[in-house]
């Protein structure tokens, strides 16, 4: 064979070596033994990998692990959390259908329901998180899906999943829960009666801020419908990202333990500071839904939100004075992160909607990472002290 052919056709035998850690199956398509095998796979008479937009062993391994953690029957992986949200609605809704959703939603999900799906005749009602357990008056014959996020981003409002599930079950409506903030380690919506769990794997599941990814976990029947839509619309998760996410799932449990312990001690400490107006954290007794948080979530999660005396101006100065916390849009990372939701992640929403979601102009969100809690506390303390002084000090 010529050099070019050798360079293309030479194969390592690594696929046959039983590596202790699974290899990445970075391939767009799969080779068939012969034309009959190809025909049988395309005719779906035989199971197997055909093309990575449909399935891939690295993606399959990620899904097997996440499905087991969420206690679902089957799963489908997507290129981002928003692709998971979009694919779920697009696969399961038809023209004329109606969705009831909590308004305490991630901004892009709100936009999808409010601006994109309306183009195709799908309407939505948005209710306050506290109203989601009494939705009966808003249900119509067209209501197909109830959609919730709990805890919500960034206000950390909680919704009683089991109570909403009971209403939905009685009326044959699908309950979809975005479980991104809690992860299956802290909360298992399917066990509480939900039908579908959505993930932005970009957050705690990756946990190190490297990849985008999403997933839908549900019954086989529902995943078959999502798959039928997604095979042709193409939001597939890349095998490389699936491999990263699959490895990350192996440490999710221990990472969450540290995220939660760090966050709880910082939330308690912040609450004692006279410069702080209020702190919201699910496992703080001062959280308005503390009893539900204890019942529904194993631990309080890694996100805290709070407001300083002095509102927006004090909050923005506080962010700028921090040295250890990163100013970035992500969350669920090993590195602690600070954001100001009303001027960044939720800035596209109207002020009215933001206020309904509890996003005041002075609200600060912390995603507590895995650094030593003493170092994080020292950084927060130094910044709180710094903002007590006037911004500009005359040097003379
Ligand atoms: C609760 C929640 N759901 C969905 C998403 C969307 O995920 P992705 O950024 O992976 O598309 C996010 C992103 O921040 C989120 O916070």
CATH of the domain at 202: 3.40.640.10
Measure the CA–CA gap between 256 and 203, rounded to whole angstroms: 12
User: Do 219 and 301 belong to one domain?
Assistant: no
Domain annotation covers residue 13: no
Confidence band of 21 (pLDDT split at 50, 70, 90): confident
Confidence band of 104 (pLDDT split at 50, 70, 90): confident
User: Do 337 and 309 belong to one domain?
Assistant: yes
**Residue 85 alpha carbon, nearest atom of ligand 1:** 4
Measure the CA–CA gap between 78 and 231, rounded to whole angstroms: 11
Distance from residue 88's CA to the centre of ligand 1 (Å): 14
Best mutation site among 82, 181, 204 for ligand 1 pocket (most ligand atoms within 8 Å of CB): 82
Domain boundary among 187, 220, 249: 249
Question: Which structural domain range is residue 105 located in?
Answer: 23-249
Is 379 in contact with 324 (CB distance < 8 Å)?
Answer: yes
Which residues on adjacent β-strands are paired with residue 124? Answer: 99
Confidence band of 364 (pLDDT split at 50, 70, 90): very high
Query: In this structure, which residue's CA is closest to atom 15 in ligand 1?
Result: 106
Domain annotation covers residue 316: yes
Best mutation site among 180, 207, 339 for ligand 1 pocket (most ligand atoms within 8 Å of CB): 180
**Residue 213 alpha carbon, nearest atom of ligand 1:** 10
Strands of the 326-327 sheet, one edge to the other: 276-280, 303-308, 363-367, 337-339, 326-327
Counting DSSP H helices and E strands in the chain, the numbers are 14, 12
Domain boundary among 222, 249, 276: 249
Distance from residue 82's CA to the centre of ligand 1 (Å): 6
User: Do 178 and 303 belong to one domain?
Assistant: no
106 Cβ closer than 6 Å to some ligand 1 atom: yes
Domain annotation covers residue 4: no
User: Do 205 and 345 belong to one domain?
Assistant: no
Mean pLDDT of 242-256: 95
User: Do 102 and 222 belong to one domain?
Assistant: yes
Domain annotation covers residue 46: yes
Q: Residue 14 has what pLDDT?
A: 63
Q: Give the chain's mean pLDDT.
A: 93
User: Do 162 and 264 belong to one domain?
Assistant: no
80 Cβ closer than 6 Å to some ligand 1 atom: yes
Domain annotation covers residue 353: yes
User: Do 194 and 292 belong to one domain?
Assistant: no
Distance from residue 286's CA to the centre of ligand 1 (Å): 27
Tell me the CATH number at 332. 3.90.1150.10
Confidence band of 133 (pLDDT split at 50, 70, 90): very high
Mean pLDDT of 115-142: 96
User: Do 313 and 343 belong to one domain?
Assistant: yes
Cα-Cα-Cα-Cα torsion 309, 102, 95, 93, nearest 10 degrees, comes to 120
Mean pLDDT of 165-189: 97
Distance from residue 38's CA to the centre of ligand 1 (Å): 38
Distance from residue 200's CA to the centre of ligand 1 (Å): 5
Measure the CA–CA gap between 191 and 199, rounded to whole angstroms: 16
Q: Nearest-CA neighbor of 61 among 233, 332, 250, 206?
A: 250
Q: Nearest-CA neighbor of 85 among 228, 201, 199, 229?
A: 199
384 Cβ closer than 6 Å to some ligand 1 atom: no
User: Do 81 and 218 belong to one domain?
Assistant: yes
Number of domains present in the structure of the chain: 2
User: Do 322 and 359 belong to one domain?
Assistant: yes
Domain annotation covers residue 393: no
* From 239-248, 287-296, 341-350, the region with the lowest mean pLDDT: 341-350
Distance from residue 95's CA to the centre of ligand 1 (Å): 25
Cα–Cα distance list, 113 to 97, 147, 151, 196, 204 (Å): 12, 10, 19, 17, 25
User: Do 311 and 169 belong to one domain?
Assistant: no
**Residue 181 alpha carbon, nearest atom of ligand 1:** 1
**Over 90: is that where the pLDDT of 355 sits?**
no
Residues in the chain, how many? Answer: 396
State pLDDT tens for residues 143-174. Answer: 999 999 999 988 899 999 999 999 999 999 99
Distance from residue 80's CA to the centre of ligand 1 (Å): 8
Q: Residue 217 has what pLDDT?
A: 98
Query: In this structure, which residue's CA is closest to atom 10 in ligand 1?
Result: 81
Q: Residue 393 has what pLDDT?
A: 56
214 Cβ closer than 6 Å to some ligand 1 atom: yes
Domain boundary among 195, 224, 249: 249
User: Do 147 and 267 belong to one domain?
Assistant: no
Is 231 in contact with 80 (CB distance < 8 Å)?
Answer: no
Distance from residue 18's CA to the centre of ligand 1 (Å): 36
Distance from residue 289's CA to the centre of ligand 1 (Å): 23
87 Cβ closer than 6 Å to some ligand 1 atom: no
Domain annotation covers residue 18: no
Domain annotation covers residue 391: no
């Amino acid at each position: 064979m010529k050099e070019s052919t050798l360079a293309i056709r030479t194969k390592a035998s690594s696929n046959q070596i039983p590596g202790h850690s699974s290899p990445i199956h970075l391939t767009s398509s799969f080779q068939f033994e012969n034309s009959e095998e190809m025909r049988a796979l395309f005719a779906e008479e035989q199971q197997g990998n055909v093309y990575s937009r449909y399935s891939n062993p690295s993606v399959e391994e990620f899904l097997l692990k996440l499905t087991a953690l969420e206690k679902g029957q089957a799963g489908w992986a997507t290129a981002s959390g928003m692709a998971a949200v979009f694919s779920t609605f697009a696969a399961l809704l038809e023209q004329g259908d109606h969705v009831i959703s909590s308004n305490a939603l991630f901004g892009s999900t709100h936009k999808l329901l409010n601006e994109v799906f309306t183009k195709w005749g799908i309407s939505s009602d948005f209710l306050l998180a506290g109203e989601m357990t009494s939705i009966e008056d808003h249900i119509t014959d067209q209501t197909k899906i109830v959609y919730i996020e709990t805890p919500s981003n960034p206000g950390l409002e909680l919704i009683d999943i089991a109570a909403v599930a009971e209403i939905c079950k009685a009326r044959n409506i699908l309950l979809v829960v975005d479980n991104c903030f809690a992860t299956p380690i802290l909360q298992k919506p399917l066990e509480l009666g939900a039908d579908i769990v959505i993930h932005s794997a970009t957050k705690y599941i990756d946990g190190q801020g490297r990849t985008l990814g999403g997933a839908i976990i549900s019954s086989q029947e529902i995943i078959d419908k999502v798959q039928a839509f997604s095979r042709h619309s193409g939001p597939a998760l890349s095998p490389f990202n699936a491999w990263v996410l699959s490895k990350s799932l192996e440490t999710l449990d221990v990472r969450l333990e540290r995220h939660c312990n760090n966050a709880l001690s910082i939330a308690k400490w912040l609450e004692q500071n006279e410069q702080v107006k209020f702190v919201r954290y699910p496992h703080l007794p001062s959280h308005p839904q503390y009893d539900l948080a204890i019942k529904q979530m194993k631990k309080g999660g890694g996100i805290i939100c709070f407001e300083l005396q002095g509102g927006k101006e004090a909050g923005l100065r506080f962010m700028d004075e921090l040295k250890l916390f990163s100013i970035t849009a992500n969350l669920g990372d090993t590195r602690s992160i600070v954001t100001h939701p009303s001027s960044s992640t939720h800035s596209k929403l109207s002020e009215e909607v933001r206020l309904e979601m509890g996003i005041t102009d002075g609200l600060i969100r912390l995603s507590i990472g895995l650094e030593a809690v003493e170092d994080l506390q020292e950084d927060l303390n130094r910044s709180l002290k710094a903002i007590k002084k006037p911004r500009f000090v005359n040097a003379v």
